[in-house]
Each structure stands twice: as C-alpha cells, then as structure tokens.
Amino acid sequence: MNILIIDDEVNILRTTEVALKTMGHTVFTARNSRQAKRILGEDPIDSIFLDLMLGSEDGLEFLDWIQESEGSAPPVIVFTAYSSVESAVESMKRGAFDYIQKPFIPDEIRQMLAKLEKDLVLKGKLQDLEREVESSAPGLSLNSAEPELQKSYKMALKAARSEASILILGPSGTGKSVLAKAIHDQSGRRDKRFVTVNCPSLSKELLESDLFGHIKGSFTGATQDTWGKVSGANGGTLFLDEIGELPLEIQPKLLRLLQDREFERVGDTKTHKADVRVVAATNRDLSKDVAEGQFREDLFYRLNVISVKMPPLTERAADILPIAENFLQFFSSRIGRPDMRFTEDAKASLVDYHWPGNLRELKNVIERAVILAEADHLDSADLPTNITSNGDGLSPRPGSLVSLDELESVHIKKIVAKTPSLETAANVLGIDPATLYRKRKKMEMC
C-alpha cells in the first residue's frame, strides 16, 4: 500500500517508515498537517498513520479534515502516547480505523496492517458485488460443448495464473467481459480490485481522465483532484473493454503503464507508480488497424502476449439451449416464477435463429419473454417475431437457392444444438463422430 505517516517526532517517524518499507509498502512522511495535505493532493494514499499530538496542532482536527474532504477518505490509524481510553475512543468516533499506543513495536504495526488489509479487501469485494447486483445480469458459465471454445477457456484460465497481459478477441456480445472477470478471479490478484474501463464510452479528454485521473483546473469542469481507474486498480486487474477504440493520443500513455508501471494524471507533472495487470478486449482486427496506422504496433504486441478468441453464438450451436436455460432460470426466479420452461417449439426457434447480437441479444430476448409470458411454458409465440420467422432469412432452408455445402452446414449446426452430445448428433446425421468433427472443423475455417 501507499502509506502516509504524520508525526512531529523524528524518531517515531523514521522508525515507523523503516518498519513499513521492510514490509514492502511505499511510505510518505509528514511532520505537520500542511505537509500532509500537500502529499494527499499529489499521491494516491491507501492508509494514514496519524499522531494525535502534532506539536501545536491537534491531530483530531486533522482527522476531521480528512473525513470531511471530497472523495473517499483513506483509513486512518491513530498514534497516541496517552494511556487514557478517552483519546482513542474519541478518534474512533471521528472516523479513525483503529489506534496504536506509543511506544510500539514493529509487530504491532504488522498486525494492524493485516487487519486493515483484510478490511479493505472485504470492502472492495462488497463494492464489486453491489455493482454485479446492480447490473441485473445473470452469470455465464465458462463451460462449452464446443471443443475449440473449451480450449480457449482452458488457455485463458491457465494464463490467468501468470502476470502476462491477455487480449480477448471476438464480436460484441460474446462474453468477453465475463471471461476477463474469470481471469481475474483465477489470478493471484483475486483479492484486489477488478476495474473496468469502457474505451468507446467517453471523449478522448474524459477517457484520459477516467484512466489516469486529473488535477484541479487541468480542464474545464475539473473542480477537484481525482485519481483515475489505474490508481483504483492498483494491485489488481485493469480491464480495458474495446481497446481498439482507444484514441491514438492516449496509446503512448498506456504503453508506458504496461512497460514501466508509471503514469501521470492529466495536468500533473509528477510521475506515479501503479501495479496493475491489464486484460483487454476488442471486436476489431487490431493487426489490420496496426497496418493502417490506427493502432500502435508496440502497444499491440504488449497487449497480445496471450490472445483468446470468443466465437460468435452462431458458431456455438450446441451451447445455445444451455445458455438460454440459464437465462430463463435467472429471470423467472427474479419475478417469482421459477418453474417457467421452454416448449419444444420455442427451443427449435432459439436454435434456428442466427443471433447477430450474440449472448447479449439472447439474454435480452429471454428477459423480454419472461416478462411478457402469460403461462409458465414459454412458447415460440412468446418470442419476438424476428426470432420465430428465422430473422431476415440469412439461415438457408431446403429449397433455398444455396449450395449443398451451405445447407449441410446449417443442418449440422442445428442437429448438434438439439442433441446432448456429438456422438448422438453423428448418429442422427448417419455419419461417424470423426467425420462430424472434420466437417465442423471445415465449417469453422470457411
């Protein structure tokens, strides 16, 4: 953590600094409130050790100032040389995390920080959980009946245990953010924050501030100092969603963060450190963007240490119904009708549709059907008309003016989706499993 010690006694200041640095923390020191305020304005501080007697200053007044400051106040651990319980109790009433009585030994500091870190982890997990609940989205299983996708999941979760950058490729709505969160949860950083930056959602100026923070007055509307998401993800994972939309002007700053773990806030000249693991996702062909000068080649190679492909739902025919059943269970339980089921006709419609919006579209369709359905059995009539009418006709039917290969491809996908295993599908199709496997590989390459 970044820890600020505020104490007017030089010996206490230096002893505590050495103890904290030995434990691996970055330490800042101040002998009065003026110095402390300057440091708090320049660096992201995770915790403060505060002496209640700062010469002629009252440490409790400075504690009040910290609690009343804009933004999230870092937790404060109070130093007190008084044996009276009253001073410690008063500091706790005013918002202090805990207190340590002077004189103290390094092991007391270590135990206090262990307690604090546990508390911060729990608060971070609670905030993440609250955001997940607010998103009102069901979780997606990282299981698949498709062998190629199984390989992608296996590689991603194996790479999660490393510190390597991971690039997730695939069309919009294919579950790239779900996989990114799973990578974080399987990593050594799982107890720290998972912070998402949606690259296309903001202008260049606001995106730069959202990432790196800014100082007061650096641009119109910058009314106070802020720390961006890079700082918020310190020690954890920074997920850059749709990284292909990152403006060229910001790309060198991201490259520097990846190479040197350093950054500056907008309008600031001071360099700050951040220990973040970057996972990025894109629906673009970044190698093509590099060739066209739309994306930095050096940044591309920094991000693309491990790449994982998320295929569109149309290439995951065997997964459509299991995923749809998962969505149905989630949304029906939310409205108090957990016994809702699909009819066979509805299942056929879901499998036959080509799903241009991928998992996101499937989720929205099931949520809508659950809300509007009259009975507990969801029929094809409860689905949008574009689903039941096979969309815009992109999926050929017998008699369509298409080649036999195209018709065979559609037929194989639908049979695979409707059967519990590839062996069963092969039996229905009248071919052996090895032939089915070869045909599906050929379809994927086309």
Model confidence pLDDT, tens digit, residues 281-338: 999 999 999 999 999 999 999 999 999 999 999 888 889 999 999 999 999 998 899 8
How much is the pLDDT for 108?
87
* Residue 138 belongs to a domain: no
Q: Tell me, what DSSP letter sits at residue 105?
A: -
* Residue 325 belongs to a domain: yes
Give the pair of three-digit tokens for residue 127. 């905030």
How much is the pLDDT for 139?
66
Q: How many CA atoms lie less than 13 Å away from 420 in the CB half-sphere?
A: 0
**Distances 438 to 5, 112, 412, 431 between C-alpha atoms, Å:** 66, 61, 12, 11
How much is the pLDDT for 324?
94
* Residue 151 belongs to a domain: yes
Q: Tell me, what DSSP letter sits at residue 48?
A: E
Q: Give the residue ranges of the chain where pLDDT is below 70.
A: 70-72, 82-85, 122-140, 389-402, 444-446
Q: Domain of 108?
A: 2-116
Q: Are residues 179 and 303 in the same domain?
A: yes
Domain end marker among 116, 137, 162: 116
Contact assessment for residue 248 and residue 294, using Cβ atoms and an 8 Å cutoff:
yes
* Residue 135 belongs to a domain: no
Contact assessment for residue 359 and residue 311, using Cβ atoms and an 8 Å cutoff:
no
For residue 77, list its beta bridge partners.
Answer: 49, 98
* Residue 123 belongs to a domain: no
* Residue 67 belongs to a domain: yes
* Residue 386 belongs to a domain: yes
Q: Are residues 260 and 356 in the same domain?
A: no
Give the pair of three-digit tokens for residue 33. 């409130």
pTM: 0.68
Q: Are residues 302 and 327 in the same domain?
A: no
> Residue 148: what residue type?
E
How much is the pLDDT for 392?
45
* Residue 375 belongs to a domain: yes
